[in-house]
């Protein structure tokens, strides 16, 4: 009798998810805008460090200059770390069951409300409540929020916390960078002995980096800060972006403090799928 053929689950995964490091990391099929977002995070920081920080060092007391360096540097490190973490972790992918269709079961929630578990024809299973099939990644995702092109991955139960930390730290970093650039422009203008208008023009001509970064922060910051405020509002309501768009009835809100704690401080969810586990070729659950 021949032994059954075994393989790691991620090698036969039927969705559009791409795997790295032998199944330890994963990402969605769309990566161009993710790389664009990473470049949009790194390049302004390089300009700030190489062209703006040296001028700040010459214009303010060293202790204030060090404080500016540390605050903006730490915020940038947190931002890029949360961005990459969110992009390469399992968002809450559900296993494909390959079952046969059955009438949609009715389940009762803790609130007493009764809901119908809908059938997913692709994953061949009844989707748990708040799970949605992502057409881009071709996976059912637990507590699906949305598919974010800027991270190239779905945002769901397992990485929503890191997505929130990413947009919040990025928002604060943009505001700090904008403040540093404005401070640089003001101090260089005031340091001149010429009239304010002439000094301002000379400041712009001598090193326009601060002006460029100001415009960049205003353009990108408006979007990121608005996105952060929107998701804070969703946490207050305890609903996802997908549920907000579909006007789904809210059955989970337990107050602002508890809602925030459940998103930002709750223990990390375990993966629903063990992608590195060895399974048989004809396993009913891939």
Distance from C-alpha of 102 to C-alpha of 116, rounded to nearest angstrom? 12
HSE at residue 208, side-chain half, CA atoms within 13 A, is: 5
Give me the residue label for tokens 């079961």: 105
Round to whole Å and give the CA distance between 167 and 78.
Answer: 10
Candidate list 123, 137, 148, 154, residue with the active-site label: 148
Please answer whether residues 120 and 127 qualify as being in contact, where contact means their C-beta atoms are separated by less than 8 angstroms.
yes
Residue 260 annotated among the catalytic residues of the structure: no
In sequence order, the β-bridge partners of residue 8 are 278
* Distance, CA of 188 to CA of 200 (rounded, Å): 8
Residue 282 tokens read as: 């004809």
- Alpha-carbon span 134 to 273, nearest angstrom: 16
Summary count for the chain: helices (H), strands (E): 8, 12
Residues designated catalytic: 148
């Amino acid at each position: 009798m021949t032994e059954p053929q075994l393989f790691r689950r991620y090698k036969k995964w039927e969705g559009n998810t791409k795997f790295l490091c032998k199944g330890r990391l994963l990402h969605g099929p769309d990566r161009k805008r993710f790389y664009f977002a990473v470049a949009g995070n790194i390049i302004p920081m390089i300009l700030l460090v190489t062209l703006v920080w040296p001028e700040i060092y010459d214009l303010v007391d060293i202790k204030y200059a060090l404080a500016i360096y540390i605050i903006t540097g730490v915020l940038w490190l947190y931002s890029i770390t949360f961005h990459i973490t969110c992009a390469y972790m399992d968002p809450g992918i559900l296993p494909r069951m390959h079952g046969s269709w059955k009438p949609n079961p009715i389940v009762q929630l803790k609130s007493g409300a009764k809901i119908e578990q809908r059938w997913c024809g692709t994953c061949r299973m009844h989707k748990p409540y708040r799970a949605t099939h992502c057409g881009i990644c071709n996976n059912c995702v637990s507590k699906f929020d949305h598919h974010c092109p800027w991270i190239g991955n779905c945002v769901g139960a397992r990485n929503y916390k890191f997505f929130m930390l990413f947009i919040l730290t990025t928002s604060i970093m943009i505001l700090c960078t904008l403040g540093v650039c404005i401070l640089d422009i003001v101090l260089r203008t005031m340091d001149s002995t010429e009239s304010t208008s002439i000094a301002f023009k000379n400041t712009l001509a001598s090193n326009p980096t601060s002006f460029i970064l100001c415009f960049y922060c205003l353009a990108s910051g408006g979007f990121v800060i608005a996105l952060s405020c929107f998701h804070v509002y969703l946490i207050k309501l305890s609903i996802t972006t997908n549920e907000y768009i579909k006007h789904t009835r809210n059955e989970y809100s337990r107050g602002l403090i508890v809602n925030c704690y459940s998103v930002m401080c709750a223990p990390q969810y375990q993966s629903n799928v063990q992608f590195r586990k060895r399974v048989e070729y004809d396993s009913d659950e891939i």
